[in-house]
Structure 1
Amino acid sequence: MIVLVVGASGATGTKLVEQLLIEKHIVKVIVRSPEKLPEAWKTNSNLQIISASLLELNATEMSAMVKECHAVASCLGHNLTWKGIYGQPRKLVTDAMRRLCNAIQSNNQQVPIKFVLMNTTGNRNRDLKEPISIAQKCVIRLLRLLLPPHVDNEKAADYLRTQIGQNNKSIEWVAVRPDGLINEEEVTKYEIHSSPTKSAIFNAGKVSRINVGHFMASLITDDNLWTKWKGQMPVIYSKSHQD
């Protein structure tokens, strides 16, 4: 398979790319600073590194990036700095995803492309009307006011739900919602739920970035797993951190 990954230089994006390379897939990454990538990537014949700022590519360039790809995955996120949180672009994830989806649809490929978005348990799946406590609702409203990246995550998932929808001829999608992200070196057992089983605000679970990368890669490569979760927003927890 040919997979385009954006946000590949991030802490979770690198794990996703590594999982795809382990399975011998052809991976294309768009990064602004290729010098920060692992040295092993630069000599891997299955990896194409495209040095560019995603939001600065024009429509023709974007269409060329996604052409012949079987899947696109986004691990984009805002840097945890003052500029990253409050500076521009405030809708980094949403704008990048919208442009990628437009590019995919402009190519009119015969088979739908899989689009996997890394999202967050702090965002509800409104298709399921997931219940949350009044206290959590208050905190979420505060986050929307104080943290632009949270609004960006909400709008990105809503774009997939409402604009791409369930019957798009060019794109099928899954929005993966990890809970509290931690670093681990190896893939461990994890569990997937259609909705959070814990409060993302008051009783968050944990999941390793490598497990998130493994699940996203599995969605892309395992058609049965994809069929089970397409058009949904599954939540992932590492089992070893749920006791």
Structure 2
Amino acid sequence: MTTLVLGANGATGRLLVEQLLNRGQYVKAIVRSPDKMPKVLLNHEKLHLISANLLDLIDTELAQHVEGCDAVASCLGHNLTLKGVFGPPRRLVADSTRRLCQAIESNKSEKPTKFVLMNTAGNSNRDLQEPIPIAQKCVVGLIRILLPPHVDNEQAADYLRTKVGQHSLEIEWAVVRPDSLTNEEEVSEYEVHTSPTRSAIFNSGKTSRINVGHFMAELITNHDTWNKWKGQMPVIYNK
């Protein structure tokens, strides 16, 4: 089984890569700076690094990289710097999601490709009309205006919900929504819910990055876990 990982150099992406390799999976990763990968991963026999800026690749190149992959996992996000938040590309996650889905569709694989997108608990699943307190709606509305990365996350998830949908023959998807991210050394117990059980603004929970990587790897490699959560936007909290 082969998975294409985006954002593999990031704090969560590299943990996902490690989780997949530990399960004996083959991993391809598109990264701008391969030398930034941890040395323990860099020389792994089942890891193939593609040195490129994802959005600079033309459609045929993307289709080639996606071809033969059983899954695509995106841990892309914006750096929390002034340039990362407000500079280009302002639709990094959404544009990457759209183009990768189009690349998958162009290959017309005999079986659906899994697409696992890392997102945020601050983004609601509008398929379920999740109840959101008025105060949180007001804050999220302000965030949409002031912080472009939030809109980017919303548009990426919405593309999977509304454009790919539930009946695609080429793509099955899941959007993983962690709450406030923390750094931990080891996988710990965690809970997965259909919708948030607490306010992402006023009563946020904690989710370790390594638990996110573990759950994404479970979605990719575990048939039962995938069947439970495909077409949904599960929320993950540390237990």
Q: TM-score range by the shorter chain?
A: over 0.9
State the alpha-carbon separation in 2 of the partners of residues 43 and 36 from structure 1.
12
| CA RMSD in angstroms, aligned pairs only | 0.5
Per the alignment, in what secondary structure is the counterpart of residue 207 of structure 1? strand
State the alpha-carbon separation in 2 of the partners of residues 87 and 183 from structure 1.
26
* TM-score, reference length from structure 1: 0.98
State the alpha-carbon separation in 2 of the partners of residues 191 and 210 from structure 1.
14
* TM-score, reference length from structure 2: 0.99
Gaps of 5+ in 2: none
5 Å matches for 1:1-243?
1-239=1-239
Per the alignment, in what secondary structure is the counterpart of residue 192 of structure 2? strand
Per-residue CA deviation, residues 108-155 of structure 1 (Å, 9 max, x unaligned), is 000000000000010000000001111000000000000000000000
State the alpha-carbon separation in 2 of the partners of residues 231 and 110 from structure 1.
19
Task: Give the CA deviation at 1:42.
Answer: 2.0
Per-residue CA deviation, residues 164-215 of structure 1 (Å, 9 max, x unaligned), is 0000000000000000100000000000000000100000000100000000
Gaps of 5+ in 1: none
Task: Give the CA deviation at 1:43.
Answer: 1.2
Identity of aligned residues (%): 65
State the alpha-carbon separation in 1 of the partners of residues 69 and 11 from structure 2.
23
Per the alignment, in what secondary structure is the counterpart of residue 5 of structure 2? strand
State the alpha-carbon separation in 2 of the partners of residues 97 and 127 from structure 1.
19
Q: Structure 1 segments of 4 or more deviating over 3 A? A: none
For 1:49, the aligned partner's letter is L
State the alpha-carbon separation in 2 of the partners of residues 223 and 158 from structure 1.
24
